[in-house]
């Protein structure tokens, strides 16, 4: 049985690592296509080097997030491979391009992280999630909330609650990261910041976020995304002396740094969940989140782009005394492989 996997950005490489291992263990022939949506070495190749991912059979190297450019290139490789199913992750433009290409070729689509909704239709990712879920034949949900959302929307595919593959990655790679990349600061003595979403690198949001970071009264470690760095340079924003700006980190380096921080400030969906699994409180610079359970239990605070609220939340946020299990037990990959094996007919 042949699975054609489409990946293109940092979170998808992380999610693919444990699932690719589970697919190999179950005897699948997996063909990996890397769209090139992320092409910087530290945001792309390093994942294959550090996480043991099989080298992609196809590297499009398109250096774009444009769906219309990616889709025909993906379609051509799907046609050449004739897979039993096309596997896509999350909510990026690579996800949408892969799902559309498969659907046009009448190849079933499996969507990992199906059913997630922030409720914010100003986000391109929200539109991607909705469309991909409507195209998918197999929908792998991280939790019951996602399952209910898909049922309410009336999707036609088969829905499975399997847990979150990111929990698998955190379980497998967190200890490896801390052993391989010791941090240069005392644990819980600093705040980690990651900012990369398109809306947050535009004005006036970026300026307001920088203002908020400058109001934090403790050391901040800020691995700056290339897009964010470029916009900060264009706008000539200055960060305070307490903010240590560093180059983007590999997944394992960031996992080590973030898992030992006092607080994480981010606009990343994945890092919000990882913060919870690490036991590190999170402040999210977005007006909404797909991971509403982390907010409901008090482990995550939404501050949008309000500078005063950002600084206040960093000073006061704390993990709840009791943390319920959220988004699975770290074995979603095995469950997905089992469903695929039971569902896809042998040729």
Active-site hit among 34, 38, 196, 225: 196
Interaxial angle between packed helices 205-214 and 307-316, expressed in degrees from 0 to 180 and rounded to the nearest 10: 40
Compute the distance between CA of residue 48 and CA of residue 16 in angstroms, rounded to an integer: 10
Compute the distance between CA of residue 262 and CA of residue 280 in angstroms, rounded to an integer: 6
**Residue 323: exposed, middle, or buried by beta-carbon count in 10 A (0-12, 13-18, 19+)?**
middle
Q: In what order do the strands lie in the sheet with 300-302?
A: 243-246, 220-223, 191-194, 263-266, 282-284, 300-302
Compute the distance between CA of residue 24 and CA of residue 80 in angstroms, rounded to an integer: 21
In DSSP notation, 2-49 reads EEEEEE-SHHHHHHHHHHHHHHHHTT-EEEEEE--SS-SGGGTHHHHH
Total Cβ atoms within 10 A of residue 185? 13
Our answer to whether residue 196 is catalytic in this structure is yes
Q: Is 37 within 8 Å of 94 (Cβ atoms)?
A: yes
Q: Is 31 within 8 Å of 83 (Cβ atoms)?
A: yes
- What tokens were used for 280? 């590190």
Under DSSP, the state recorded for 53 is: P
Q: Is 106 within 8 Å of 100 (Cβ atoms)?
A: no
Q: Which residues are catalytic?
A: 196
């Amino acid at each position: 049985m042949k699975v054609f996997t489409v990946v293109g950005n940092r979170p998808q490489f992380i999610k693919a690592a444990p699932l690719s291992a589970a697919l190999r263990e179950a005897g699948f022939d997996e063909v990996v296509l890397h769209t090139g949506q992320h092409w910087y070495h530290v945001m792309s190749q390093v994942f294959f080097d550090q996480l043991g991912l099989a080298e992609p059979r196809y590297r499009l190297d398109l250096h774009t997030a444009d769906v219309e450019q990616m889709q025909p290139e993906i379609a051509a490789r799907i046609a050449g491979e004739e897979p039993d199913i096309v596997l896509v992750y999350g909510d990026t433009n690579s996800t949408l391009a892969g799902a559309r290409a498969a659907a046009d070729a009448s190849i079933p689509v499996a969507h990992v992280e199906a059913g997630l909704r922030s409720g914010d239709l100003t986000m391109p990712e929200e539109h991607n999630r909705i469309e991909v879920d409507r195209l998918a034949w197999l929908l792998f949900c991280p939790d019951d909330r996602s399952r209910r959302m898909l049922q309410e929307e009336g999707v036609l595919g088969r829905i499975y609650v399997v847990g979150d593959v990111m929990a698998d990655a955190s379980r497998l790679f967190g200890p490896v990261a801390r052993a391989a990349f010791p941090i240069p600061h005392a644990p819980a003595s600093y705040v980690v910041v990651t900012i990369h979403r398109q809306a947050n690198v535009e004005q006036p949001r970026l300026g307001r976020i920088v203002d908020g970071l400058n109001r934090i009264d403790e050391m901040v470690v800020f691995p700056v995304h290339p897009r964010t760095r470029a916009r900060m340079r264009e706008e000539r924003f200055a960060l305070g002396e307490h903010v240590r700006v560093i180059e983007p980190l590999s997944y394992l380096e960031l996992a080590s740094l973030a898992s030992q921080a006092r607080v994480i400030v981010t606009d990343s969906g994945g890092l919000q969940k990882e913060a919870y699994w690490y036991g590190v409180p999170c402040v999210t610079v977005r007006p909404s989140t797909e991971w509403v359970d982390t907010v409901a239990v008090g482990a995550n605070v939404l501050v949008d782009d309000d500078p005063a609220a950002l600084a206040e939340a960093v000073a006061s946020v704390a993990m709840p005394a009791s943390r319920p299990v959220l988004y699975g037990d770290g074995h979603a990959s095995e469950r997905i492989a089992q469903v695929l094996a039971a569902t896809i007919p042998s040729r």
